[in-house]
Amino acid sequence: MSREISHEVTGAWLEGDEPGERKFVKIGFLLLENGEVLPDITIAYQSWGTLNEAKDNAILINHAMTGWSDVPGWWPQMVGPGLPFDTDKYFIICPNVIGGCQGSTGPSSIAPDGKRYGSRFPIISIRDMVNAEVAFSDALGIDKYLLSVGPSLGGMRALEWAIQLPHRVGAICTIGSSAVATGDQIGTAAIQIRAIKSDPYFNKGDYYELERGPVEGMGIARRIAHLTYRTESEMDVRFGRQLQGDETGRYAVESYLDHQADKLAKRFDANTYIALTDAMNSHDVGRDRGGVVEALQSITVPVVVVSIDTDRLFPPRLQVEISELVPTAQPLISINSDFGHDGFLVEAESVGAAIRHALDIAEKSR
């Protein structure tokens, strides 16, 4: 499988937020879990710090669903000299997932026939994403990561690394995530997908050459999702029944959700939203492994599990399950937050302390 590395800064879906300076690696083809083949894959990534001569100081950051390779852009106060991901000590790397829209091969990418994939992009799973990350790591010559860490979708991938590739990670840290998608998560996500596909401009996923895409459907999906990311109490205390105070007559909370929808529409592709949501819905570490219990009990590397006490998308019981079933799990770290699932973004000090703890564990297990 031929692989090459490029340093060009092109090929992103982004029209609003600056994605940062990315590099690109071609990893060839990938046999997907469903039996299809995704050819000629490109992985976009960013890195910080220096890979040492032994190549044993690398940390893999697995971004969340609407995150991307520029970690400081979505996870501030985490990467840099003296910060939890200390660039004076470690080589930190974050690839954009396949199916993404920030430079890695996804639905908006050009297929081998010269046209955008659109509706033809294959269904992908969490394991497919990890297999692509493995090929990406091989291309960079990284045989083993000191730590694989990530929140939400990233935590799902970190778990897969621990189960599938224990020889390639020293330890993992999963934050606000789970071992299997729940019925509640799937139900909420299915409504979001329905909203996008019901947009008259969706055109069955082939909208790239049209003047308008499914912006309204994406906006509705994002509004639904954002409510699951935050808490009922925050929405009530912060907005209550206040009106926006303009000619629209909207409630303040409506204006807030409109803003969140508009922000995402400027930097995210609707087909990617569907592809990654479908992948999260299919998440089940126990699939073809004898079930969730058996899969988690097979883990042999140290596991640090972080929970957010007000998370209603990934409620704490899901992290408790991981911590109780994984033989090598450290005591569960519970972070107190008023911000629900988004606590992993907001509670920089507490999350940073958990990261430092995970790295201490990884260092001791060398």
The pairing of strands 147-151 and 172-175 is: parallel
Tell me whether residue 136 is exposed, middle or buried, using C-beta atoms within 10 angstroms of its C-beta: 0 to 12, 13 to 18, 19 or more.
Answer: buried
Tell me how crowded residue 55 is: count the other CB atoms within 10 A of its CB. Answer: 14
Residue partners of 218: CB distance under 8 A and separation at least 6? 195, 196, 199, 261, 264, 265, 268, 270, 273
Active-site annotation, residues: 152, 311, 341
List the beta bridge partners of residue 334: 307
Tracing tokens 């490029």 back to the chain, one arrives at 6
